[in-house]
Structure 1
Amino acid sequence: MSFTSGPSRWSDVWLATATRGISSCGDFLAASALTLALQSAGAGGLAVSALLLAATLPLVALAPLTGRLADRVDSRLLLVVAGLAQAGVCLALAYADDPGLVIALVALLAAGLAVTQPVLSALVPAMVRADDLPRASALNQTAGTLGALAGPALAGLLVGEFGARLPLLVDASSYLALVAAGLLIRTRRGGSRRADPAATGSGATATTWRLRRDPLLVAGIATLAGVIAAVGAINVVEVFFIRETLGSSTTVYGLVTGSWTLGVVLGGWLFARVARRLADDGALLGAGLALLGCCCLAVLASAAVPSAALLVPIWLLGGVANGGDNVFHTLLLARRVPEVARGRAFAVFGAAVQGAGMAGFLVGGLLLELAEPRPLVAGCGVAGLLVVAAVVIPVRRAVRAERAAVARPDDAGAVAGRAAGAELATPTPSR
């Protein structure tokens, strides 16, 4: 079933939240430590780009497999096994010196993340009633972004004092939180607990659900992926922009990059209240597009700052818009995808986002060989705004088509498109 028939299982939500926060902190701690180690060793944009690609490619390439695993295998088993494997890989990473081995181990670490991400994402909607989903999503996102906020700042401090090994050892221990979550969370999916399609009333199964049959979801995911692809180069450029162009220390770098993630926390809670009032899925999609435009404006404005301190308020506002869009997209997926297919849906969504990010990483690494960081930051903002402008008309068409389909209850496509939304209306008995 999609949601609990009784009270929401907030104890499980809090366990999932703590797990998300700890593991997210470890992920960003390791990524920032390795990025700073490369930059401090004199590596260029291509080396940073290769590292980021290794951390991202498995999430894209393995999505068809890991999404099905999340729906078909017991969530407890997946969390325990993946958590232990990631802890072991990160421990090896702390003592690896060869750049090729480091990249290979980072890719293995990301393979574990490709499993745990859809498992945890699909578990959260199963823990709560429909009305509580925006709050639960905001809580889960808050933990992830607080972890992302603490990770770079902690990496900046630890790398400056002790080098990259200690942050990686801390990261290895953080993956044990996944093991604890797998053992303690009562809500479970997959295995013998796979939902009965007849019981859900959706008529959809994990094998029959297809993203392409839902034009509204296609438009939403394509829009987000397009903007991320356009702006994603900023993830490679920012370390050179902040450290070299603006002349800041590793500690300042961690604090400045953390300001965006702090904004994501604030935006998640602010827009969770708004999301509960947006019963129409088309309105959710339109509001998300507007927030993506605000994110791009923040990136563009950051190119004009003379010092790193001025980046903080700009990136804070950009993060607020980012956090709101995250809540809207999570709610849109939960409303429109039947429970038995949610693991695959979140894996597909994650693959689209991560694949777009990979394109940005590659472009950022190449462009840094040709241009200075400041004009590249401005270019990222402009490119993102152009994508937002380009998708306005297709998104409006998808929203109009959705509303027209809902107005024709005899239309088979409309019935299929509203299947998951019907479950939400009538809850039934888990960067």
Structure 2
Amino acid sequence: MSDQPRGSVRRALFSRGSWAETSRVSEILRQETVGGALLLIAAVAALVWANSPWSASYDALRELHVGSDSFGLHLNLSLGTWAADGLLAIFFFVVGLELKREFVAGDLRDPARAALPIAAAVGGMAVPALIFVAFTAPAGPEAMRGWAIPTATDIAFAVAVLAVISTHLPAALRTFLLTLAVVDDLLAITVIAVFYTDDVELWALAAAVVPLALFALCVQRRVHAWWLLVPLGAATWALVHESGIHATVAGVLLGFTVPVLRSAAAGGPDAGPGLAEHLEHVVRPVSAGVAVPVFAFFAAGVTVGGYQGLVASLGDPIALGIVFGLVVGKMIGVFGTTRILAAVTRASLDSSLRWVDVFGMSMLAGIGFTVSLLIGELAYGPYSEQGEHVKIAVLIGSLVSAMLAAVLLRIRNRQYRAIEADETRDDDHDGIPDVFQTDRDQPG
């Protein structure tokens, strides 16, 4: 006999969230689709240039130094380093805003709903890392330094793939993909701060607290003035960079300080949007349309060396660990964790979905690009032979994951379209799809 109480309703995984949250996620994914397309264009352009007769000019551009070492800050950096350390801080600022928004005012403020993407993100990091270590352990500790490379999911790349194959994903799965990627990014930046920081300059780290605190004070008082917030954010970034901790951590910390709700006194998530939503609308297009594509342009330019060079690169245990980590590890980690969570909690899959849909999303999570390339540079150096193999492996692993996901999701496309048609019906013409309304919510 079941120990479930009589009359209780069995909790469903991937159940539909609120209309406000669904519409917000849809808008975010539309912006990320454009950013993902620009990312793909930038990566292809870099690959073509780096493998052309003019490859030396690409290397010269990437190595061009800009900046100054004045005031004791080492900021005379190459354009490639500015892209990895500076522009990606903008990307992680948006990550910080989005993560705080999800857990303060989003549907994921409910611990029961938050558990699934968090567990899936953890599983989706642990399994690829173990696969990478299994491939590289015979080569020694230096080879294993890159264990975190296949653990990251690139939301912009993944959404761009969805746009290309024209799938009509159910709202719950779109929310899951976005939240999984955001939590994934937070875990990745934590890994970078903890495992890829060698020496820390405590004076610079302590000094960074001052502009960070002033930034927090301003945003808590709802100060919108860019001429004040931008210098404070830049000062925080520069001091974190000087401390030895990767400067992208500054972006997440700054994002966490921004208030999500309009007024704490109003109480609860119904108080209305706060400064976080405003800044997200302003900064996300810069992140998706400029910061990430420019980073991709400088990070993805690797000389393949033809077929023989490709075979030689994939003969490296590091490259094999990355490819199998992304393609197999992510799929097993995300899907397996979801199935285990369903079994442990005795939760059932929402009636509008099938497990094959979740399997397709798990394949899509194997698209790693931005953060994977960043960790590869930190682990082996941007221009080492191993670093070049990392770039090739990340590109191949992401491409294979994208192709496998595309095949499965195209097969499921007709089912997705039927689900979306049901979700977007608005028989009472009040601007909210009927599926998001209960009987008591219906007018009249």
Same topology, TM > 0.5: no
Larger Rg: 2
Q: Would you tell me which structure has more helix in proportion to its own residues?
A: 1
